Amino acid sequence: MRWTPLAIALAVQAALLLWRLDRLPVWGDEQFTLDVVALPWGEIAETLRRDIHPPLYFVLAKLSGVGIIGLRAFSALTTLAATVALDRLILADRSETVRRWTLAVWALSPAVVLYGRMARSYALQTLLAVVALYAVVRLIEGRAAGATRARLEPCATAGLAIAALLYTHYLPGLAVAAALAVGALVARRVVPAAIALAVAGLAYLPWAVVLAEGMARAAEKRVYAITGSWLAELPVRAGYAALGLFAGEAHTVATFGLGLALCAGVAAALWMGWREAEARWLLLAAAAVGFLGAAKWVSFPFMPARLLWLQPWLLALTVAGAHAFTRDWARLWLGAWLGLLCVGQLFLAQQKGYLNKGYLIPFEEIAQLAQQGPVLADATNCDPSPLRAAVGPDRFRAIVGQEAIEAAADDQ
């Protein structure tokens, strides 16, 4: 039956997303969410303006509840909504085989389960990016015919979807807007695209100054690079992002090697799927802007989270591309991929082999061990704000660098 694959995917994904929402400790970015939603309504907008975050996710998060369990549950439910959007929009015109395999790898994706239930905007970005990119593709592939209202409706839908995405996070919103511009030039649909972008600009006007400030800050930001060069770091960021999105972020040495081998197959299948996509230049523009923007803002361990919004489209193209080869090869390769994803899910549940150890820092346990006296936290490579919340601001001091450590020791 038509609804059966979606129902199975939702059931499996709900079990993975909602099981033990307290499994991982609160980490730095989640603590920021907790701090913001605990504020009175009147203080939230100004706090976000100072920190250059757009407001939509935090408004919805405050409505969903203040505690970490409620916030993670909200993200998990939003991810399930993204699954429905993936099936109803991206996969609507795909073959039943491609649809089922895509839903399977999406539901079992460790990246989706890890980031899709965090108390951050990743899940909402993903849901809105599916809708916005679909609206943009529909606008670009459409033909101006019929009544004026019928011609303007796709423009307004695409513009409002881009605005909603911008109000959630700047990176995917700007990437989809850039994709619309590129798609319009390639397809010669400049006028409808200009109308859509005008709608998005008008809808986003109240927050435009904050967006400009955020872009200026991003341009000046120096991002940690293990190679010492931002440009030389791009292959590292691309490799880590691909491994995290397609194979997960928890590995043993063996699964890490298998994941790297898998990424080679993903690249080939993704290439084949992209070549057959009608909106390929539009999707390429969104991916390129998204990747370069994320690479400019964060270091390599955080790339998969910042690009989760691309995951539904990437998976659909990869699965479609795999079926461009022989049927037996596609089944064998996709089956091996699903097996690796299942192992990744097991490692996530066991808290084993996380590549980013920052997700596992037990701030609450540290706070319980340090019940008296000042608490010094090395903030060189992590955000210790959950420890600050646990011990209280009066006892907490964040330090960066050896000189700060020595100075703090001299003060005690």
Taking only the tens place, the pLDDT of each residue in 256-284 is 999 998 888 899 999 999 999 988 999 99
**What does the pLDDT average to over 303-323?**
96
Is pLDDT larger for residue 2 or for residue 179?
Answer: 179
By three-state DSSP, how is residue 368 classified? Answer: helix
Q: Report how far residue 114's alpha carbon sits from residue 24's, in angstroms, rounded to the nearest whole number.
A: 10
Q: Report how far residue 184's alpha carbon sits from residue 191's, in angstroms, rounded to the nearest whole number.
A: 8
Q: What pLDDT is attached to residue 85? A: 98
Instruction: Give the phi and the psi of residue 198 in degrees, each rounded to 5.
Output: -65, -40
pTM: 0.94
Q: What are the CA-CA distances from residue 124 to residues 70, 82, 165, 298 (Å)?
A: 15, 8, 9, 19
Q: What pLDDT is attached to residue 144? A: 44
Residue count of the chain, please give it.
412
**What does the pLDDT average to over 168-195?**
95
Residue 410: pLDDT band (50, 70, 90) is: low
Name the CA dihedral angle for 110, 112, 113, 119, rounded to a multiple of 10 degrees: 140
Strand partners, 398: 377
pLDDT per residue as tens digits for the range 33-87: 999 999 999 899 999 999 889 999 999 999 987 799 999 999 999 999 999 999 9
The one-letter amino acid code at 186 reads V
- 209, with CB counted inside 10 A (0-12, 13-18, 19+), is exposed
